Amino acid sequence: MECPKCGHKQPDGAKECERCGIIFSKWRERQERQERGEPSRSTSSSIKVQPLNPYAVKKDSKDWVGYIQPAIILIAFLGAGLWIHHDLNNWREFTSPTRGFTLEFPGTPESQTDSSTVRPDPSITVYLTSEFHQVAPLFGIPGIYYAVMVADYKYQSSQPVEWDDEKGFAGFRDGVIKELGFAARVESQSDVEIAGYRGKEYNFSANIRKATIRVFRKGDRMYALAVMHPPLLTLAEDKERFFGSLRLE
């Protein structure tokens, strides 16, 4: 069985989600009340709030990966300030001169950069710089975006630091869910190979949009490719063209 809120797989007979902490019986009661049009009751006593460690630090070995910050940047930038849309048949190659990749977009992407400093652990300081490119291609109809974000990690640490991809990808996924907002959940997730590197594909669903995001790491650089669209669209062929066109130097 899967958690109805976050999509995490649960053992048979589980009463609450191991990841997000919701109690399944209370969740079903709330959904039934909403379907009947009854007012929602307070859920403070039925949902277990668990603090989220966004940087997946393993205190014993200092394994970490700061993927929630890129997830926040990715979702925050999607759709920001884009009012010029492009022909879906006008695919063209885009090459990043600073991040070493080539990718096809249905139009010329707008670009933004971001930088921040985070401390996932008292002994570690992370300097994160990211580059973001997106296109909104559907003839002036809002809500569909193609995007890539590349985040570089530089760090200072008093102890050896190792990447933990499984925790990192999970942290990125949870960050996307948080930023998508109310009713966001993971519909499916799978292991994928992206440009020769191991990564994850996540399909997200929220109230008025769906998103497919592929994420992987190459050294100290993280790549996230995203397609976001209204629920009634699938864009299966265009997604595969977009995701499959990535080439790394």
pLDDT in tens, 128-162: 676 777 776 555 455 678 888 888 877 776 666 67
The rounded distance, in Å, linking the Cα atoms of 91 and 192 is: 24
**Between 203 and 74, residue with greater pLDDT:** 203
pLDDT at 83 over 50: no
Give the number of other Cβ atoms within 10 Å of residue 15's Cβ: 9
Please work out, in degrees rounded to the nearest 5, the angle formed at the alpha carbon of residue 66 by the alpha carbons of 1 and 96: 110
DSSP 8-class letter at 244: H
The band of 19, judged by pLDDT with boundaries at 50, 70 and 90, is: low
Question: What is residue 20's predicted lDDT score, i.e. its pLDDT?
Answer: 52
Query: Which domains are delineated in the chain?
Result: 1-50 (no CATH), 63-248 (3.40.1000.10)
Contacts of residue 13, defined as CB under 8 A and 6 or more positions apart, other chains included, come to none
Q: If you compute the radius of gyration of the chain from its CA atoms, what whole number of angstroms results?
A: 19
Residue 48: which region, alpha, beta or left (left: phi > 0; alpha: psi -120 to 50)? beta
